[in-house]
Structures are given as structure tokens and as C-alpha cells.
Amino acid sequence: MAETIAVIPGDGIGQEVIPAAIDVLETLDVDFEFVEGEAGDDVLDSRGEALPEATYELAAGADATLFGAAGETAADVILPLREAVGSFANIRPARAYPGVDSLQPETDLVFVRENTEGVYSGIEHEIADGVTTLTRVITDEASRKIAEYGFEYAEANGYDDVTVAHKANVMRTTDGQFLESVESVAEAGGHGYDEALMDALAMHLLLRPEEYGVVICPNLAGDVLSDLAAGLVGGLGLLPSANVGEDNALFEPVHGSAPDIAGEGIANPAATVFSAAMLLEHLGYGGAADRVRGAVEAVLEGGPRTPDLGGEASTDEVTAAIVDRL
Ligand SMILES: NC(=O)C1=CN([C@@H]2O[C@H](COP(=O)(O)OP(=O)(O)OC[C@H]3O[C@@H](n4cnc5c(N)ncnc54)[C@H](O)[C@@H]3O)[C@@H](O)[C@H]2O)C=CC1
Ligand SMILES: CC(C)CC(=O)C(=O)O
């Protein structure tokens, strides 16, 4: 029976890069039924809610979801969608590719980001005029879960270096808990790791990314550090991600709706096609995932390339070249 893939393009370049990824998936020998869901800024305007219940249920009930990007409504769309698929881990690989002009060609990093709490818990208040608060939630349960996932990911994928990002010198209770939980998981499993203050880590990643592999992070740190790593390897057009849950998962490029280029047909589809490869891998199509990654890498190396990578090609031309390689 065909597997159901929920497809949610969203706003801006989401509407351009998702069709590219579907074109690629449709050239493969896999039996997927694509079911499209609506979400994002335009849906808020037309329907009064950025994430209709039907789209939430579509993602919750699908075998996997492919998401593009949302614009101003992103927090109202992607955070509940991550919850819909029960995701606790956000996996963000940032690699340099031959042929792509990158600041640091030795970069091969994977951010394993806690995906449910931290400052993304949505507990914000204005307690008096001009006085606002945000509650940062860090629990032992979620911290242990992300640590277990991160150590297992590193082992399964051949990364020797695991670094835990934190700011426990300031957020002593919350990041103190995060560190304590990671440490107990590491001790129980016999895993080695280094810990790093996230501000200094940002500088070290910039100067010496080759000394790092898997980086286990609280939610916000993972979001920020992975965008920094995108800058090391050629930009946001290259970074895919997987939001992994126990029985379900959602795949999306790390980038947003890119209003500065939306509608021009020049968005780099690589991040979304790489995300589709992660989806294939997740559903057990490892061979197809390798073929897709190989085709994208060949096009990154030989061209055509979109303007973000110094080329002049359109999204459609790059997608056609990827499909040709397949
Ligand atoms: N997961 C999501 O849906 C996310 C949504 N957003 C939303 O996206 C909107 C724009 O946010 P920004 O901070 O500008 O981040 P952005 O990721 O949309 O764009 C940042 C820069 O990277 C470039 N870029 C991004 N993806 C690209 C691609 N595939 N090809 C070529 N260039 C690409 C853009 O042109 C822009 O110059 C905001 O409304 C924000 O809320 C931002 C991040 C994540
Ligand atoms: C709510 C999102 C827009 C935040 C973000 O950039 C992300 O988690 O990917």
C-alpha cells in the first residue's frame, strides 16, 4: 500500500522548493501518495487561522510530512506541526560540498536540537506595561531524550566528536539541568563528550568547524548555531532538517520563506531535496536517499547553480538537472 506523505508548501519560496522536491521524489521507484495541506500567512488571511485543524491532522496521521516554510506565522505553523508528529529531536546536518564556495570547506556538522521546550515553549507574558517575561522550560525527561538521540546518532553515523552546547554559567538551573541530564545519559551509555559555552562555541565553529561533529543543543541554541553553520558552507539554501518523533517525522529545509527572493523562481531547492532524502531514509528507502543525495551533490559540483551559490540558474533548471542525474 502506498505511504501517505503530507505535503505542506506554506509561504514564499516554500511554494517553489516543495514542488522541486516532489518532482525529484516522483522520479524514484517508491510508492508515495502525496496529500497537500494548507498553512501559513495566506491561509491566515483567507481562513482566519494559519494552521487549520485539517492540516494538523494530516501531518499527525501521515507516514511522514514534507514542509516548505511559513512566513510571519511560522511560530504558529511549524511549532504545532512539530508537535503533531510528536517530534522531540530536530536534526540539522551542515556540510560543505565540493564545488560550492564555502567559508570552511572541512565543515561536517550535525546539530541535534531539542525540539519541544527551552524558550520555544510559548510561555510569554506582559506582566506590567513595558515589562515582559518568558519562561524557559528545561526538563530532565526531554534533555535525556535528546542526549540519547544525539549519542546514538553520532555512533550510528561515525562521528567521534560530540559537543554539548549550553550556557549553564548564566542559566544555572535550566542549563544546569540540561548538562546534568546529558551527563547521566553519557555515563550510563559510556559515551564521551565535550561541553562548550554556546557563545564561545559559535566562535570556535566559525574558526575550526573540522574539530566538531555532532552538537547536542537546547532548542534556541540549536536554531541559532545551525544558521551560523549554514553561513560556513554556502548558505541556508543547503541545509535540510528532520523533526523526528517516536513513530512519525516531519522534514523541512532550515530556511524560512525568504520574502526577498520569493516569486522570482531562483530559490535553491537543494535544502528541500536533501530534506526529502532524509524523509526517504526515515521510511527505509536508504538506497533511494543515497541516490538523491548523490544527484544533488553532483549538481552542486557541476552546476547549474542558483544565484545564492553564485550561479544564474532558476529553481526549475536546477531541479531538472537533479532529475536528469537520477
Ligand atoms: N521554518 C520556518 O517556516 C521558518 C520561517 N521563517 C520565516 O521566514 C521569513 C523570512 O525570515 P528570514 O529571517 O529572512 O529567513 P530566511 O531563511 O527566509 O532567509 C534568510 C536569507 O537566506 C536566503 N535564503 C533562504 N533560503 C534560501 C534558498 N532556498 N535559496 C536561496 N536563498 C535562500 C534568503 O533569500 C534570505 O536572504 C520570516 O517571516 C520568518 O518568520 C524563518 C525561519 C524558519
Ligand atoms: C518558529 C520557527 C520560525 C523558528 C525557527 O526558525 C525554527 O525553529 O526553525
To the query of whether residue 120 is one of the catalytic residues in this protein, the response is: yes
Whose CA is closest to atom 2 on ligand 2?
Answer: 75
58 contacts 86 by C-beta, under 8 angstroms: no
Residue 168 CB less than 6 A away from ligand 2: no
For residue 311, give the ligand nearest its CA.
1
Ligand 1 nearest atom to the CA of residue 259, by list position: 10
Residue with grid cell 531538472, as numbered in its chain: 320
Place of cell 566528536: 161
Q: Which ligand is in closest contact with the Cα of 267?
A: 1
Which protein residue has the closest C-alpha to ligand 2 atom 7? Answer: 223
Segments in the chain below pLDDT 70:
none
Mutate to test the pocket of ligand 1, among 73, 257, 272, 309 (most ligand atoms within 8 A of CB): 257
Out of 140, 199, 290, 324, which one is annotated catalytic? 199
ipTM confidence score? 0.99
Q: Is the CB of 74 under 6 A from ligand 2?
A: yes
Instruction: Kindly give the distance from the C-alpha atom of residue 90 to the centroid of ligand 1, in angstroms, as a whole number.
Output: 17
* Candidate CATH numbers 3.40.47.10, 3.40.718.10, 3.10.50.30, 3.40.50.970; the one for domain 103-233: 3.40.718.10
CATH superfamily of 1-93+239-325: Isopropylmalate Dehydrogenase (3.40.718.10)
Q: What pLDDT shows up at residue 276? A: 98
Ligand nearest to the backbone CA of 308: 1
| Residue 2 zone, left/alpha/beta (φ > 0; ψ -120 to 50; rest) | beta
Q: List CB contacts of 240: < 8 A, sequence separation 6 or more.
A: 92, 93, 251, 252, 253, 254, 271, 272, 274, 275, 277, 278
CA of 280 to the centre of ligand 2 (A): 23
Tell me, using a 6 A CB cutoff, whether residue 79 lines ligand 2: yes
Q: Where in the chain is the domain with CATH 3.40.718.10?
A: 1-93+239-325, 103-233
Q: pTM above 0.80?
A: yes
Q: Given the residues 11, 223, 285, 308, select the one marked as catalytic.
A: 223
The yes-or-no answer on residue 167 being catalytic is yes
Q: What is the pLDDT of residue 172?
A: 98
Of 159, 174, 173, residue with least CA distance to 110: 159
Is 145 designated active site?
Answer: no
DSSP calls for 61-92: HSSEEEEEE-STTHHHHHHHHHHHTTEEEEEE
Q: What is the pLDDT of residue 12?
A: 98
Query: What pLDDT score was predicted for residue 271?
Result: 98
Residue whose CA is at the smallest distance from ligand 2 atom 3: 74
2 DSSP assignment:
P
pLDDT at 125: 97
CB 78 less than 6 A from any atom of ligand 2: yes
Residue 70 CA: nearest ligand 2 atom is 3
Pick from 10, 82, 100: nearest CA to 245:
82
- Cα 255 to middle of ligand 1, angstroms: 5
- What's the pLDDT score for residue 1? 86
Nearest ligand atom owner, CA of 271: 1
